[in-house]
Structure 1
Amino acid sequence: MEFDVHEFATRLRLLMDEKNDTVYSLGDSVYLSPGTISKLLNEKLDNPRRRTIESIAIHYQVNPVWLMGLDVERNIDLDRFVKVAILNDARNKRDIEGYEYVRESLHIDFCFHVKDDSMVNARILTNDLIYVRRQSDVESGEIAVVAIDGEVLLKRIYKTNGLFVLKSDNLSNQDERVFTKKEIRAIEILGKVIMFRSMAR
Structure 2
Amino acid sequence: MTETDVKAIFSANFKRLRVEKKMEQKDVADALGVSSSIVSDWEKGNKMPRAGALQKISVLFNVPQHELLIERGVPYSTFKEMINLPVVGRISCGNGSIAYEEIEGYESTPKEWLHGGDHFYLRAKGDSMTGARIFEGDLLLIRKQGEVENGEIAAVLIGDEAYLKRVYRNGETLILQSENPNYPPIFCPPAEAKIIGRLKKIVVEV
Question: Which bracket does the TM-score occupy, shorter chain normalised?
Answer: 0.5 to 0.7
- Aligned position for 1:14: none
Q: Deviations over 1:39-77 (max 9, x none)?
A: 7xx54615687444432x1xxxxxx1xxxxxxxxxxx64
Q: Deviations over 1:121-180 (max 9, x none)?
A: 111111111110011111111111111121111111101233211111112x1321112x
Which of the numbers 116, 121, 134 marks the counterpart of 2:126? 116
Give me the CA root mean square deviation: 3.5
The separation in 2 between residues aligned to 1:2 and 1:120, in whole angstroms, is 30
Residue ranges of structure 1 left out of the alignment (5+ in a row): 9-31, 58-63, 65-75
* Residues 134 and 190 in structure 1, CA contact (< 8 A), matched pair in contact too: yes
Which of the numbers 158, 183, 186 marks the counterpart of 1:177? 186
The separation in 2 between residues aligned to 1:147 and 1:52, in whole angstroms, is 26
* Residues 144 and 192 in structure 1, CA contact (< 8 A), matched pair in contact too: yes
SS of corresponding position for 1:106? coil
Task: State TM-score, norm by structure 2.
Answer: 0.59
- Aligned position for 1:103: 111
* Residues 72 and 204 in structure 2, CA contact (< 8 A), matched pair in contact too: no
The separation in 2 between residues aligned to 1:52 and 1:123, in whole angstroms, is 13
The separation in 1 between residues aligned to 2:169 and 2:100, in whole angstroms, is 27
The separation in 1 between residues aligned to 2:163 and 2:86, in whole angstroms, is 19
Q: When the two structures are aligned, how many residues end up with a matched partner?
A: 149
Following superposition, the deviation at residue 3 of structure 1 comes to 4.9
- Aligned position for 2:169: 159
Residue ranges of structure 2 left out of the alignment (5+ in a row): 9-15, 26-39, 49-67, 92-98
Which of the numbers 126, 129, 151 marks the counterpart of 1:141? 151
Identity of aligned residues (%): 24
* Residues 123 and 139 in structure 2, CA contact (< 8 A), matched pair in contact too: yes
